[in-house]
Amino acid sequence: MVNVVLAERKTAVLTPSSLACLSQIPTVNLTAGCAHGCLYCYTRSYSSYPGEDKVTFYTNTFDKLRDELTRKRRAPKAVYFSPSSDLFQPLPEVLDLGYEILEFLLGRKIGVAFLTKGLIPERHMRLFEENAPLVRAQLGLITLDGAITGVFEPCAPEPAVRLSQAKRLARAGIKTQMRLDPILPGLTDDAESIGRVCGAVAEAGVKHIAASALFLRPSVADSLKRHIRDPSMLDKLLRAFGQGSRMAIHARNSSVFALPVTTRQQMYERVAHEAQLHGLIVHLCACKNPDLASGSCSIAGEWTRNPTAAIQRGLFPDDERS
Ligand code: SF4
């Protein structure tokens, strides 16, 4: 049971991100903390993290957002939800506020991009379908194995639900990606597990996946040790980090404990191979793998100043929309 703490937001709602792939558009968090409670969530190490089973909900977000947009000389082309929370946490106040803000932004032709592991309510789905050219969707899916997601993502919907949502979004013409992140060494990084995810993603009609391995921060390692009850599961996961090292990543000027580069390289080669077998295009997260990749995993999609007009002019061919 998550405890929702109400608070007034003191800082700006529209926030620049330190991630290179989010440098073009502002980001918004409706909460600090997230009710999905994923064990690997990096936000556990942020100073704003309210603690487990707690979410800080900012009551003045919409008023502040309206005010900030009014004062801007030029509206942003799009807004990204959410770098350190989830727009579709199973909390009525978050879902209601999220809907209001999405409706407000889309009504002003400001695009919305989101990454979620959550259950997207019907009214939000319809809003996205009605505004398809202005929406970019990424859905997190680390494995099809419900026993693993049940441990690592205890409050997120099961993989089949996320796949069926992805299918519906892609069918509506919304540019949709699945995010295979984090890949868990020793648990979800074998060719069979990756192949099953790729097969299911292709079957859902989605053509792009973004991928990255698990990285450890002290708070994440601590959460894994406290919550994983099966010693062999924990051992498989942590053993893989044995020869790893600290590495600076392009986010929040932070460094993390990384798997050995050869381990990650081989992991990504398996992803590339399985993706190719299923006709998928892979984007490797360069922010978290600066030693192996460059460019962007397109976490927020590509944005032109006027995406509706761009679609009408055929700048996004049909086969690139999902
Ligand atoms: S859904 Fe995202 S923000 Fe929420 S707990 Fe999981 S990883 Fe963290």
Domain harbouring 303, CATH code = 3.20.20.70
Q: How far apart are CA 57 and CA 62, in angstroms?
A: 12
Check residue 321 and give its pLDDT. 29
pLDDT at site 304: 65
Task: Report, as an integer, the average pLDDT of 264-270.
Answer: 96
The pLDDT value given to residue 246:
84
Nearest 10 degrees: CA dihedral of 167, 168, 174, 177? -30
**Mean pLDDT for the chain overall:** 91
pLDDT at 313: 42
245 pLDDT band, cuts 50/70/90, is: confident
Between 59-63, 93-97, 252-256, the lowest mean confidence (pLDDT) is in 252-256
What is the pLDDT, as a whole number, of residue 20?
A: 72
Q: Which domain holds residue 168?
A: 3-320
Query: Do the Cβ atoms of 258 and 245 come closer than 8 Å?
Result: yes
**Domain tally, the chain:** 1
Q: 36: CA distance to ligand 1 center in Å?
A: 6
Ligand 1 centroid to Cα of residue 34, in Å, is 6
Could you report the per-residue pLDDT of 271-298, keeping only the tens digit for each?
999 999 999 999 998 888 888 887 777 7
Confidence of residue 320 (pLDDT cuts 50, 70, 90): very low
Distance CA 71, CA 269 (A): 47
Helix, strand, or coil (residue 210): strand
**Ligand 1: which residues within 6 Å by Cβ?**
34, 36-38, 41, 43, 85-86, 117
Residue 107: CB atoms within 10 Å: 10
- With a cut of 70, say whether residue 185 has pLDDT above it: yes
pLDDT of residue 315: 35
Band the pLDDT of 76: cuts 50, 70, 90.
very high
Mean pLDDT of 86-98: 98
pLDDT at 50: 95
User: Rounded to the nearest whole angstrom, what is the distance from the C-alpha of residue 29 to the centroid of ligand 1?
Assistant: 12
What is the pLDDT at residue 17?
A: 81
Ligand 1 pocket test target in 48, 85, 138, 288 with most atoms within 8 Å of CB: 85
> Which two tokens mark 238?
């942590």
Length of the chain: 322
